Structure 1
Amino acid sequence: MENPKATISEGVKQKDQDTLWNLPNDILDQILSFLPLKEAVATSVLSRKWRYVWTSCLALDFDFEKNMKPLTHRSHYQDQDFEDKQCQCQYVNWVDGVVERHIGPNVEKFRVCFPLNLSFGLFIDKWVKFAIKKRVEVLVLDFSAHSHRSIYLGNGLCDVLTQAFGYSEYPALKHLYLKSVGVTTRDIEFVLSSFPCLEQLEVSNCPNLMSLIVSSLFGLNLKHLAVEAWQDGLVNIRISEANLVSFSYSGYPIELELSNVPLLVEVSISERDGAVTDDHRALIFTQQLSGCLSQLRTLRIDLNGMVDREVYSVPALPNIRHLELEVLVDDSLVLEQINCFIEACSYMQKLVIRMQFKYSEEFMYPEVNLKEPAAANTCSHHHLEVVEIVGFHGRKGAVKIVTFLMKAVVSLKEVVINSAQLFRGEVVDDSDEDVEEEEARRQALHELKRIVPAAISFRCL
């Protein structure tokens, strides 16, 4: 005898499946856009209708780690991986196969992330042309690797883009990210002048880029610019008469000029080099940012190694609401420098301290006795409500900084402790942390919890 409950259950499942199979194609495209590309392609086996749905995907993210790692049995690609011709060819064939089979009219995001060498330049040219012709909005070319090689697109980036569309068409590119790509100043100027919708440009470690100019002639509509240059090459950045809202630079010290940028409210500067003098550090406020200091609302500054010999003055920053300082906890004058910033940002609401520590391969550097500001010079801040500590370790200097802030900030409502390790301002894997270091941090957190007033929320991430 037939089980009526089983029949009803099967009927419900069949109805759900019919509903899924009969969704409009644009809805199916949106569903697939949330899946890694490998899984999106795998949906072709679900049914006859789904066989070619993936060929209209709006997001094409060719990430080696997400899609090909299981095939190569590598946890992370290293230099030897991309030296392996088979691995390179496997990646290129994968990207090329998807590009050739894609039949959708548009692509919202196109991302290539793998350290290819110059022998694949013509393939990369082809992929860029494909993305532009598909009216891509987000284009990411990331060829970074531990050896810091750079890909020079076979025909030069601006030539490739020129071939990809005629000037009568309306390019849709809004966000361009280039990492370890051999672009030139001419390439960037072409991009800025030819893509009227471009709002966000990120350039990272492109050693053939000597100069970067953003002005009313190039990139008038650009809103967000981020540059990273930890390789020799970039000499200067000049920004004038531009509508930038945010600007970020990290790398070796360069000539930086910002003028007539009335909409700029967010700036991040991280210049680091052992040969940099205190005089050069002072240029950040006296020259580089002098024309826009009064309008900034968010400021990120890297003080790592800057204040060990001298505490430099900080001009008034009346509109700053969010301040981030990356500090070397072992600098003896770091507390005094932090105090100067607190005093300068009198209406600040959130302060983030990103901590770095001195280490040696043989031993940990000894603890440094941090000099506290004189009582008469200590600022009692009345607007700062949230303090976040990133990269907290169980060092006495780190505990002393947190304790000092809790005393100096009378309006403090919340303290957030994040123990993640940092490298050049970025969070890195801390799985290899020393057991003794971990125990010291645990004890330090316990001590901090004990002394935090009950009125202050204390959170550990």
Structure 2
Amino acid sequence: MVPRFRIQFDMGDLNQSVIDEWLRFVVNKNVEILELDLQNGRKACTIFPSYNFPLNLSNAKVVELASLRKLYLNNVVVRNGVVEKLLTTSPLLEFISIHRCNGLTQIRVGGQGVINLKHLEIVNCFGDLSIHLNDCDLVSFMYKGILTDLEFANLPNLKEFNIRHDRVGFENYVLSQLSSCVSSLEALSFSVNGMITENLLSIPRLPNLKKLTLTIDTMEDGHLLNHLVSSIREACPNLETFIIKLGWYSPFERRVLKARSSANIPPFESLKVFKMLGYYGRSVDYELAAYVIHNAVALEKVVIDPRCQDLITIDRHKVHRNVLLKKDFARSSAKRQLESLVARKSPGAKFVIL
């Protein structure tokens, strides 16, 4: 028995037949965790994946791994139908992670009592993808990339939903798919793309949501405070952690926004942690942060990260000097604008600038 097996190579350093042999070795070893990573992390991936998974054995269309519980695929080719077949031939399979893979255009998973899938994540795959998930005990779902269609139905145990798509104006449709899991959802992460309009978001009531991460990738403010944060306050009465991520590529000088009257909207009663990432000190940044701080009555911690989120993983020495200067300016702006506000509105809260 081999509990965990990892195949990790740069595809340019190895031919396909060698990987085939390693997979043949795995089939009869009762592997529980299998990782197939054909980008070794030291080299940038500049071409599409070229290794087809899974390997055909004994005239079977899909490798049968009866003991498999977790599967990690990175930089390989995964064809339509493979995920579904794996879930039926590997009855213990509960975790699937697919990163930077090619070949998939649709995933259709369903069948309570038939499959054991609990966690599914699909990140930065090549091409458009349509996803339909229904009638299963899924607990967490993550998707980042281009999305053409998303359909959820009867997912009563879904606790974590994380989506970062590139389709402008798709937010309302994505949120509408949560109707079958509103009572179970505890953590939600989604992005807003394109122009913000009067009818931007229709957030369903999420009574048990504890953590919300909102990524704002937009060139317009519109009525951001009026129709975004206020609707979140109404929809998520038990929110404890609220994270807002802002893009630096949008214009630095934008008009000051005024939030609509909130006399009839209850404050953030349960909010304990508020984080704003990508805070630059623009008027809209301050107004948004101040709005949350003003309306949170139980804050314990406020974290401001002035770094550009798109460059956060890049070596400091490789970042353009102008970006570093902007970060320093953003840090000083955050201290000047928000430190006294937090001390005044939430005297016991810890204020942190990264």
Alignment TM class, shorter chain as reference: 0.7 to 0.9
Q: CA deviation at 1:285?
A: 2.6
Q: What is the number of equivalent residue pairs in this alignment? A: 339
Give, in whole Å, the separation in 2 of the partners of 1:388 and 1:460: 10
Is this contact kept in 1: 2:51–2:76, CA < 8 A? yes
Give, in whole Å, the separation in 1 of the partners of 2:31 and 2:307: 35
CA deviations on 1:386-425 (whole Å, 9 max, x unpaired) are 11223333444323322221111122121122345434xx
User: Are 2:239 and 1:348 equivalent residues in the alignment?
Assistant: yes
Give, in whole Å, the separation in 2 of the partners of 1:253 and 1:407: 36
Amino acid at match of 1:344: A
CA deviations on 1:110-131 (whole Å, 9 max, x unpaired) are 14153x1597111121222333
Give, in whole Å, the separation in 2 of the partners of 1:237 and 1:311: 23
Give, in whole Å, the separation in 2 of the partners of 1:267 and 1:338: 19
User: Are 2:280 and 1:393 equivalent residues in the alignment?
Assistant: yes
Is this contact kept in 1: 2:119–2:138, CA < 8 A? yes
Q: Paired residue for 2:262?
A: 376
* From 82, 96, 108, the counterpart of 2:4: 108
Runs of 5+ consecutive residues of structure 1 not aligned to the other structure: 1-104, 360-364
Q: Paired residue for 1:121?
A: 16
CA deviations on 1:26-61 (whole Å, 9 max, x unpaired) are xxxxxxxxxxxxxxxxxxxxxxxxxxxxxxxxxxxx
Q: Paired residue for 1:152?
A: 51
Going from structure 1 to structure 2, the CA distance change for 1:218 and 1:318 (only over 3 Å counts) comes to: closer
Q: Determine helix, strand or coil for the equivalent of 1:404.
A: helix
CA deviations on 1:44-80 (whole Å, 9 max, x unpaired) are xxxxxxxxxxxxxxxxxxxxxxxxxxxxxxxxxxxxx
Trace 1:52-63 onto structure 2 (pairs within 5 A).
none
CA deviations on 1:97-156 (whole Å, 9 max, x unpaired) are xxxxxxxx5252414153x15971111212223334333332222335442411233xx5
Q: Paired residue for 1:210?
A: 105
Amino acid at match of 2:29: K
Q: CA deviation at 1:299?
A: 0.9
Give, in whole Å, the separation in 1 of the partners of 2:128 and 2:218: 31
Is this contact kept in 1: 2:205–2:236, CA < 8 A? yes
Q: Paired residue for 2:193?
A: 304
Give, in whole Å, the separation in 1 of the partners of 2:79 and 2:218: 38
Q: Determine helix, strand or coil for the equivalent of 2:262.
A: helix
CA deviations on 1:263-308 (whole Å, 9 max, x unpaired) are 11211122213xx3x3x4321233x222222331111111133525
User: Are 2:184 and 1:289 equivalent residues in the alignment?
Assistant: no
Q: Paired residue for 1:460?
A: 353
Give RMSD over aligned pairs: 3.0
Q: Determine helix, strand or coil for the equivalent of 1:300.
A: strand
Higher helix share: 1
Q: Determine helix, strand or coil for the equivalent of 1:185.
A: coil
* From 252, 262, 271, the counterpart of 2:165: 271
Runs of 5+ consecutive residues of structure 2 not aligned to the other structure: none
User: Are 2:242 and 1:357 equivalent residues in the alignment?
Assistant: no
RCO (CA 8 Å, sep 6+): is it higher in 1 or 2? 2
TM-score relative to the length of structure 1: 0.66
Give, in whole Å, the separation in 2 of the partners of 1:179 and 1:247: 17
User: Are 2:69 and 1:174 equivalent residues in the alignment?
Assistant: yes
Is this contact kept in 2: 1:339–1:379, CA < 8 A? no
Going from structure 1 to structure 2, the CA distance change for 1:233 and 1:375 (only over 3 Å counts) comes to: closer
Q: CA deviation at 1:353?
A: 1.2
Is this contact kept in 2: 1:335–1:370, CA < 8 A? no
Going from structure 1 to structure 2, the CA distance change for 1:297 and 1:437 (only over 3 Å counts) comes to: same
Q: Determine helix, strand or coil for the equivalent of 2:339.
A: helix
Q: CA deviation at 1:443?
A: 0.8
The structure whose Rg is larger is 1
Give, in whole Å, the separation in 2 of the partners of 1:449 and 1:297: 30
Trace 1:379-458 onto structure 2 (pairs within 5 A).
379-423=266-310, 427-429=312-314, 431=316, 432=319, 434-447=323-336, 448-453=338-343, 454-458=347-351
